[in-house]
């Protein structure tokens, strides 16, 4: 049970950081509120974050 708590906390932290970086890198997407997979992958590569994809 405690493991699940820490895992969820880590995921939320990662998502908050990714959203901040996406907004900084790609700007706020007001049209539909979503970023394309290409935009996400570009930001992940640029910032050196782990995406678990080749």
Q: List, for residues 1-54, the tens digit of each pLDDT value.
A: 789 999 999 999 989 999 999 999 888 877 777 888 999 899 989 988 776 654
Residues 6+ apart with CB under 8 A from 45: 51
Residue 52 lies in a domain: no
CA atoms within 13 A on the CB side of 1: 0
Residue 53 lies in a domain: no
Residue 25 lies in a domain: yes
Write b or e for each residue in 33-49: b if 16 or more Cβ atoms lie within 10 A of its Cβ, otherwise e: eebeeeebeebbeeeee
Q: Supply the pLDDT for residue 16.
A: 92
Q: Supply the pLDDT for residue 51.
A: 63
Residue 40 lies in a domain: yes
Residue 33 lies in a domain: yes
Residue 34 lies in a domain: yes
pTM for the model: 0.70
Residue 21 lies in a domain: yes
How many structural domains are present in the chain? 1
Give yes or no for a contact between 47 and 26, defined as CB atoms under 8 angstroms apart.
Answer: no
Residue 27 lies in a domain: yes
Give the range of the structural domain holding residue 16, as residue numbers without chain letter: 2-47
Q: Supply the pLDDT for residue 47.
A: 86
């Amino acid at each position: 049970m405690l493991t699940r708590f820490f895992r969820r906390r880590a995921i939320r932290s990662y998502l908050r950081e990714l959203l901040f970086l996406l907004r900084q890198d790609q700007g706020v997407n007001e049209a539909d509120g979503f970023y394309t997979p290409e935009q996400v992958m570009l930001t992940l590569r640029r910032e050196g974050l782990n995406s678990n994809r080749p």
